[in-house]
Amino acid sequence: MNPLYMIFGPVVLAALVGIFFKEDFLVKIISLVLFVSMLIWSVSMLDTASINSFSLLGTYIHCNLIPIDLTLQVDRLSAVMLILTFLLLILVTLSSWNIKSSAYFALLIMFAGPITGVFLSTNLIWFFIFWELTLIPMFFLIGIWGAEGRIYASIKFFLYTHFASMLILLAFFLIYKQSGIMDISMIKESMLATPALIWWLMFIGFAVKMPIFPFHTWLPDAHVQAPAPISVLLAGVLLKMGAYAMIRFAIIMMPQTAEKYSYIILILGLITLFYAGFNALYERHIKKMVAYSSISHMGLVAVAISTVTYAGLSASLFEMIAHALVISPLFLIAGLLHERTGSWYMKDMGGLMQKAPFISTVFVLASLAALGLPGTVGFIGELSILIASIQKYGLWLAVIAIGSIIGAGYLIWTLRRVIYGEISDSVKTSNFRICKTRVFALLIFALLIIIFGLFPSILFDIIDPAFQAFNHTGGAL
Amino acid sequence: MTNAFILFLVSAIVSPLLYRQGVLKLLALGMTLLAFGFSNTVIGLSGFENNPAVTLFIQILSAVIFAFILHERDEHLITQSLFLAVVSIALLQSSTLVTFIISFEALSLISVIITLGFNNSTQAQGAIRIFIAGAIATAIMMIGVSFLLLSGANLNSALPKNRDILTITGVLIIFTALFYKMTIFPMHNWAVSTYANISSDRAALLSGVAKSVSVVAIFKFFAPYLTNMSNEILLSIAILAIITMTIGNFMALFREKLSSILAYSSIAHSGYMLLAFAFVNSKYASSGILYMAIAYIFMQTASFLILDILKNRHNIETLTDIKGLSSYSPILSMFFTIQLLSLAGIPLLAGFMGKAILFYAGIDVGMLTVVLIALLNSALSVAYYAWIIKHIYFDKAQEGRKKYIDKSIFLSQMILLIGTILYGIYVYKILNVSIFLLH
């Protein structure tokens, strides 16, 4: 299959579907079929990407003056990110089944194109083009289908991340000026005259997307105001895009500079972990609590990335996947609670287990996974990061465990207030029946949390080859 | 001998005879199409020459004029647009000082004529401002020319290569006069008033077509002289560019009237384009300005023409009026949104690639800080473009609004949209010919 179809096909399809299809059911089916086929295609690429380097998929568009060839290459890291993306897109489509708008699903389809480009393009300028293009569908998805404060949140999201992108573009300009090469697979750190400046520009640009403290302020608003399935997309795909780019550009491409500034990433990662954790502890707004919990976990990913080691980077990729699987059902259920009770605040909830046992069970499972309960995917993620960090920085990095304790604090307290306790009036009077597709999506999340928690080697076997170049000492687990 | 210039000239002269006959539009469209085919021809007089970069720009000019004629109902304005094409070709192909100045004055004259079709005092105000600005610019230009004559320059050739004080002063004075046309700070105020106050279809011709033609022609004519200028002069140009774009972007943030927002956006784009003169020592500067001008002619003309439709068909002039446009006019909303995103510099649209190449030229000559400020300015501009899009899509419409779009308007907008999208992807076509801009 020509990979160009996978990038531009969804954009064209989205335009056609948006203009000609008014029947939302048909568009839902089209998007589901598309995402499933793209998932199968990305899984098939694991074979292509089995070796420790890029495999060329194709080069398109050529220009003599500037090497802006659209070069598409895949390695294990990008293949894993694609699988995660399409899996989440399928689950997001299923979770959005109650939304009766063909435009909404057309935008989801449109999102699939540039995100594929982000993970496959190795040309700096094309990477940037796809990176920026992902903003457009997200902007509309938040702005049109979001909650009360959607307009503020969508514009803040667009502007904040666009400003950050300008720094990335500047860094890319400098890379090309200094190395004369646009393809990241060929750029070596030693070719760059000002590696520190380039690294900092890229670091800030990608840190906004991840997000890392103090560049995170756009995310709580976007997360809270976005419709729940789009929050899943934000947490599961968009933030991962930031982490992916951080690993791809700031670590793999520039390992020496990254090593030099690894303490900065570590400290900012730790601040993010604790700052967001304390915010979540304070928060009474259920979706904001989940949003801060999400940011806190991304702080953990930043800590893992800061190690610049095989074990740390593998752990960061594992945690990214774990985070996506764990935080998504929490967002979906938080959104559902607001949809049915009309309130965002935990004080208006309580006793959900009595009224909606299935939803409550998934919420409990995801919460326990988020706080790192053994047997769940969250535990493996946090443990592998803890081990990799201690290996690199020493025993003092055991402070990460305090992050888990804070997590346990806000999550267990949330369970106490929302799931258990006395049944509240709003829960009592609300109907929590949801359509089968949404049940199915939650079920898939729950199963994956347990499967990858019990058999983490399935995931590690897939992701470990991504960082073989850093393998001098062996993996974390 | 048939050439694009003659075709446009003949159709412009003949067209008044066909007023109210019902065939003017057809003739104008036919002749424009023919002119498109003859874009590579040169005016058969001394002092004019062609090259592949100019040919490409004339092709694009013809396509934009074609789209304009499709859109326009005012027969006088169709004639004026044909005359504008005539002088634009002359200006683009002019290779000597005398043909450049005459063509430029002709462009100023036709620009004033375009604004003369006013119906009220506000529109008249816009027309008077452009007239005064044009007169001042001419006066300043004449001072510059007299300096050149004093230095012994031959007006029947390109700019002299001498670096004596009289020549440098003369060239810089002429260049400053041209800032009026390019709407550069501090000579930008007339443009805001004119673009915002005259009817939007006229503004489309002035802001979209006349300005981009002027910028390319000025670059083609002046860039060779600027290449070896001192860094201080190039830096001064860069500072003026930064001030112009910053003023344009900040002022646009606080406007309520859509035409004012686009007028200030046009000022900001002048700032971006002026950067090419500061980055002239980079081989990418000519690619940047050509790309930027091509992107600009499509997106700015399309945006002002959409404002014209909004005003005439929906009585929409302000942000408040445009609320919920997508609910009753989704196609028009889509056209407007894509053009606005291109103006904002969002990728895969021509506006992004134009800015990206232009800004890279800055990195190429080592003006990192200037590029950083320009990039931040570009990011800032997203605020007001996104704000318009927010009103179109995220807000509810007033009751009683009705859908409107006719076939010719759809086709006109489609041509401009294809241009914006095509040149966002079809990069190498522009880059490959851009090197000829300086030859």
In SS3 terms, chain A reads as CCHHHHHHHHHHHHHHHHHHCCCHHHHHHHHHHHHHHHHHHHHHHHHHCCCCCCEEEEEECCCCCCCCCEEEEECHHHHHHHHHHHHHHHHHHHHCCCCCCHHHHHHHHHHHHHHHHHHHECEHHHHHHHHHHCHHHHHHHHHHHCCCCHHHHHHHHHHHHHHHHHHHHHHHHHHHHHHCCCECCCCCHHHCCCHHHHHHHHHHHHHHHCCCCCCCCHHHHHHHHCCHHHHHHHHHHHHHHHHHHHHHHHHHCCHHHHHHCHHHHHHHHHHHHHHHHHHHHHCCEHHHHHHHHHHHHHHHHHHHHHCCCHHHHHHHHHHHHHHHHHHHHHHHHHHHHHHHHCCCEHHHCCCHHHHCHHHHHHHHHHHHHHCCCCCCHHHHHHHHHHHHHHHHHCHHHHHHHHHHHHHHHHHHHHHHHHHCCCCCHHHHHCCCCCCHHHHHHHHHHHHHHHHHHHCHHHHHHHHHHHHHHHCCCCCCC
- Provide the token pair at A7: 């990038």
Helix (H, G, I), strand (E, B) or coil at B389: helix
User: Is B347–A129 a contact, with Cβ atoms under 8 angstroms apart?
Assistant: yes
Confidence check on the interface: ipTM exceeds 0.95, yes or no: no
Which pLDDT tens digits describe chain B residue by residue (439 residues)? 578 888 888 888 888 888 877 788 888 888 888 888 887 787 877 788 888 889 999 999 999 999 999 998 888 899 999 999 999 999 999 989 899 999 999 999 999 899 887 777 877 888 888 888 888 989 999 999 999 888 887 888 887 777 788 888 998 899 888 888 888 888 888 888 888 888 899 999 999 999 999 999 999 988 888 887 888 889 999 999 999 999 999 999 888 899 999 999 999 999 999 999 999 988 889 989 999 999 999 999 999 999 999 988 888 888 888 888 888 888 899 999 999 999 998 888 998 988 999 999 999 998 999 999 999 999 999 999 999 999 998 888 877 667 667 788 899 999 999 999 988 887 777 887 877 777 5
Measured between CA atoms, the residue of chain A closest to residue B433 is A65
Nearest to A133 among B348, B376, B432 (CB): B348
Give whole-number Cα distances, A289 to A273, A301, A372, in Å. 14, 19, 17
**Interchain proximity B390–A177, CB inside 8 Å:** no
Contact state of A170 with B375 under an 8 Å Cβ cutoff: yes
* pLDDT at residue A472, as a whole number: 61
Whether residue B428 and residue A159 make contact (CB cut-off 8 A), yes or no, is: no
| Spatial CA neighbour of B326 closest among B337, B318, B315, B316 | B337
Mean pLDDT of A304-324: 89
Cβ–Cβ contact B371 with A under 8 A: yes
B-chain CB neighbours of A132 within 8 Å are: 346-347, 352
Mutate which: A173, A175, A177, A179, vs B, most B CBs within 10 A: A173
| CA distances from residue B213 to B159, B187, B257, B275, B297 in whole angstroms, order as listed | 19, 18, 26, 16, 8
Q: CB contact, 8 Å: A21 with chain B?
A: no
> What integer is the mean pLDDT of A341-364?
83
Per the CB < 8 Å rule, is A166 touching B431? no
Chain B nearest C-alpha distance from A141 (Å): 10
Contacts with B435 from chain A: Cβ below 8 Å = 65
Contacts of A166 in chain B (CB under 8 A): 375-376, 378-379
pLDDT of residue A476: 42
What is the average pLDDT score of chain A?
86
Q: How far is CA A310 from the centre of its chain?
A: 21
CA distance A233 to A231: 5
**Interface contact flag, A128 B347, Cβ < 8 Å:** yes
Residues of A in contact with B347 (CB under 8 A): 128-130, 132-133
Q: Cβ contacts (< 8 Å) between B291 and chain A: which residues?
A: none
How far is Cα A72 from Cα A3, in angstroms, rounded to an integer?
Answer: 8
Share of residues in chain A with pLDDT > 70 (%): 98
- Cα B71 to Cα A6, B82, B167, B331, B334, distances in angstroms: 36, 14, 45, 15, 17
Across the interface, do A132 and B425 touch by the CB < 8 Å criterion? no
B410 touches chain A (CB under 8 A): no
**CA distance, residue B305 to nearest chain A CA (Å):** 22
Interface contact flag, B434 A163, Cβ < 8 Å: no
**Residue B48: φ, ψ to 5°:** -130, 140
Query: What does the pLDDT read at residue A477?
Result: 44
The answer on pLDDT for A225 being more than 60 is yes
Q: Mutate which of A20, A64, A158 to disrupt the B interface (most B C-beta within 10 Å)?
A: A158
Q: What is the pLDDT of residue A466?
A: 75
> How high is the pLDDT of residue B35?
84
Minimal-distance CA residue of chain B relative to A165: B379
Q: How far is the first Cα of chain B from the last one, in angstroms, to the nearest whole number?
A: 25
Rounded Cα distance between B189 and B198, Å, is 14
Please say whether the beta carbons of B130 and B112 come within 8 A. Answer: yes
Is A169 part of the contact surface with chain B (CB cutoff 8 Å)? yes
pLDDT at A115 over 90: yes
Q: Does the distance separating the beta carbons of A66 and B376 come in below 8 Å?
A: no
CA-based nearest residue in chain A for residue B386: A155
Between B107 and A64, where is the model more confident?
A: B107
Q: Confidence band (pLDDT; 50, 70, 90) for A458?
A: confident
The pLDDT of residue A180: 87
Domain boundaries, chain B: 4-438
Higher pLDDT, A192 or A173: A173
Number of A to B CB contacts under 8 A, please give it: 90
Running DSSP on this structure, what letter comes out for residue B44? S
| Predicted local confidence at residue A172, as pLDDT | 93
* Residues B362 and B374: beta-carbon distance below 8 Å: yes
| B:257-286 residues touching chain A, CB 8 A cutoff | 283-284
Chain A within 8 Å of B388 (Cβ-Cβ)? no
- How distant is the alpha carbon of residue B405 from its chain centre? 26
- B414 contacts chain A (CB < 8 A): no
Which one-letter amino acid corresponds to residue B113? I
CB B104 within 8 A of CB B64: no
Among A5, A128, A111, which residue's Cα sits nearest to residue A57?
A5
With an 8 Å Cβ cutoff, are B372 and A170 in contact?
A: yes
Contact A129 B352 (CB under 8 A): yes
Each domain of chain A, given as residue ranges in start order, spans 261-477
Spell out a b/e string for B316-347, using b for 16 or more CB atoms within 10 Å of the CB, else e.
Answer: bbebebbbbbbebbbebbbbbbbbbbbbbbbb
Residue A473 confidence (pLDDT): 52
Residue count of chain A: 477
Mean pLDDT of A396-403: 83
Q: Pull the structure tokens for residue B204.
A: 């489309």
DSSP run (H or E) holding B157 = none
Mean pLDDT value across residues A364-380: 87
C-alpha B229/C-alpha B234 separation (Å) is: 7
Tokens describing residue B126: 């816009």
pLDDT of residue A392: 84
* Contact between B425 and A150 using a beta-carbon 8 Å cutoff: no
